[in-house]
Amino acid sequence: MFSVTVRDSMMIAHSFRGEVFGPAQQLHGATYVVDATFRRPELDADNLVVDIGRAAEQLHAVLSELNYRNLDEDEEFAGVNTSTEALARVVADRLAGRIAGGALGEQARGLAGLVVTLRESHIAWASYERVL
């Protein structure tokens, strides 16, 4: 399996519900370094996994929808604990929608999988992997 990874970042504010979250039940900020890894079993006709420029643009576009936002105020996330794990899935699903819509070009339709990793710090991160 071949893969290409692009990286960007985002900053959000949110809070959690539930005793397990301790002080994170209060409104707080998080800064994530976000990696999106695109996978395919064979390279395309140009010997690429995906156009890196387009992949970076689309990751940036997806993150721009969340960046500098208080997710507690977003109707889409009402009643949802926006954990790092949950946000990794949101980013992956939004990227997958863009791939299906052709935003990465026709040759990107040969992609088999996508992994999105959100790094909270140098010691903690979470990923979500999905089939395309």
Token readout for 37 is 């890894």
What is the reported pLDDT for 13? Answer: 97
Domain count, the chain: 1
Whether 48 is in a domain gets the answer yes
Check which CATH number belongs to the domain holding 115 and give it.
Answer: 3.30.479.10
Residue by residue, pLDDT tens for the chain (132 residues) are 999 999 999 999 999 999 999 999 999 999 999 999 999 999 999 999 999 999 999 999 999 999 999 999 999 999 999 999 999 999 999 999 999 999 999 989 899 999 999 999 999 999 999 999
88: part of which helix (H) or strand (E)? helix 84-100
Whether 83 is in a domain gets the answer yes
Token readout for 90 is 């949101």
Residue 12: Cβ-neighbour burial (10 angstroms; 0-12, 13-18, 19+): buried
Whether 106 is in a domain gets the answer yes
Whether 20 is in a domain gets the answer no
Provide the whole-model pTM. 0.95
Whether 19 is in a domain gets the answer no
What is the reported pLDDT for 8? Answer: 98
Whether 18 is in a domain gets the answer no
Token readout for 2 is 């071949």
What is the reported pLDDT for 15? Answer: 96
**Which is nearest to 89 in space by CA: 52, 56, 129, 125?**
129
Residue 46 lies in domain = 2-13+25-131
